[in-house]
A and B are shown apart, each in its own frame.
Chain A
């Protein structure tokens, strides 16, 4: 996380200064106020607040992990841990031709299956469309799922994915982070990786967290990070959500 900005914890209604109101801020009488509890930041003459809590509000382009909650004739309804349901149409999920008169859609995804998909559109009245055409999108088999506060997902991913990449390498697990606060972990050291991610969530506001987690994992697993990194990009194919 960049340290160039002067970040400060603010609460709703706190005055940020004079300028333009950006994310999670509002303007009234020429002054900008915060709308949520979060970290305030100034970019140019715009003020924005990075929230520290709250449910997931879907955004176009987000990679999310969802649970198939309904299978209908030509689409799936996916629960994405937000106030709104999302729809995954058949043509956005499957590449091949499917004869709907002969095929049961549960052949691809059944009730309760977990998928990693991308949000392609969010309409004004919150109709959400998903797509799985992107290479990173797939069905998630086995492994375990944990829920974190969606506002803390950027910290778990880290700058350019540094945090999650480090955890993946050290524990040798596969990890997929959904922007909606659901994290999928699979591998031998699942328990350790889970603990690491929950620690990141809990201590998300402290400095030097990547190094702290690195030390914690090295202690737990009894390995040196340098040895593993030289072993090569064994799990390079697994990609994290962006």
Chain B
């Protein structure tokens, strides 16, 4: 944060990077979406509900939700080693937990819903952007859910609380706190923190992140409407 109150990239403290969302980007998936936040870009594809393989994973009472988060080798400045890593496994797990709290899994017993998140370009908040894309893709696949999950991060850079930590802030900042939020019920479904803070400040950071999630939710809703309501008014 520079002295005049603007950040490295010229944003205000409570300003998100420019966003873009599109639903239905993959032809062969049952549902798909892309989400871009500044230079972070993720594509999500949803397959299913479909038969579970291996069979012993299936649950007779409800569907299982499987999430795979992956960062493309070319997504970072230095080429990253392709394939699953400790980090990507962790993110897959927290994303799965964040999403399963809103999906009606009881609707499809013995089935599996597979979510694949591919990060094409990474510049901080990849798990948040991946989650935003995944929520849209699930809705596109027609899977019954309580509502969309929106996610973004907030943190502390040079002593001041900022929304959507990105670029240099990510490497120089003291704290990064990604939040996934479910606006309808005012519930947090993902909360992680990297850094140190006190209780009072953390509350402030979470509130800032939630305000960002609400803005993201609007973009998500617009993207869904664009695909599904776009053609409803034109007469054949």
Contact = CB atoms under 8 A, between A and B. Distances in A.
B146 A207 contact: no
A207 B233 CA distance: 8
A205 B232 contact: yes
B111 A83 contact: yes
A11 interface: yes
Interface string B123-160: 00000000000000001111111111000000000000
Interface string A1-44: 00000000101110000000000101010000101110000000
Given A9-B228, A83-B49, A205-B232, A54 B104 contact: no
B12 interface: no
Interface majority SS on A: helix, strand, loop or mixed?
Answer: loop
Contact of A33 (B49, B51, B184): B184
Contact of A13 (B108, B146, B231): B146
Given A13-B148, A84-B111, A125-B109, A37 B104 contact: no
A35 B228 contact: no
B236 A37 contact: no
B221 interface: yes
A108 interface: no
A11 B225 contact: yes
A137 interface: no
A5 B211 CA distance: 36
A85 B185 CA distance: 36
B105 interface: no
Nearest to B108: A83
Contact of A37 (B111, B139, B234, B235): B139
B170 interface: no
B229 interface: yes
Interface in A85-99: 85
A51 B142 contact: yes
A211 B140 CA distance: 29
Interface in B147-192: 147-148, 183-185
Instruction: Name, among A37, A209, A212, the residue most crowded by chain B CB atoms within 10 Å (CB to CB).
Output: A37
Interface residues of B, number: 37
Contact of A35 (B108, B140, B145, B185): B145
B236 A83 contact: no
B182 to A, nearest CB: 8
Interface string B185-224: 1000000000000000000000000000000000001001
Given A33-B147, A35-B146, A11 B224 contact: yes
A193 B37 CA distance: 44
Interface string B90-123: 0000000000000010011111100000000000
A53 B147 CA distance: 16
A223 interface: no
B48 interface: yes
Interface residues of A, number: 32
Contact of B225 (A9, A51, A84, A209): A9
Interface string B25-51: 000001100000000000000001111
A211 B236 CA distance: 9
A228 interface: no
A205 B112 CA distance: 30
A52 B111 CA distance: 21
B139 A36 contact: yes
B52 to A, nearest CB: 9
B225 to A, nearest CB: 7
Contact of B143 (A33, A54, A209): A54
B148 A151 contact: no
A160 interface: no
A199 to B, nearest CB: 9
Contact of B109 (A26, A126, A209): A126
Contacts of A85: 51
A203 B236 CA distance: 8
A67 B183 CA distance: 43
16 contacts: A9-B229, A12-B146, A12-B148, A13-B146, A33-B147, A33-B184, A36-B139, A37-B224, A37-B228, A51-B142, A53-B142, A55-B48, A83-B50, A83-B112, A84-B111, A126-B109
Given A26-B146, A53-B31, A57-B107, 5 more contacts: A13-B184, A33-B147, A36-B143, A37-B139, A83-B50
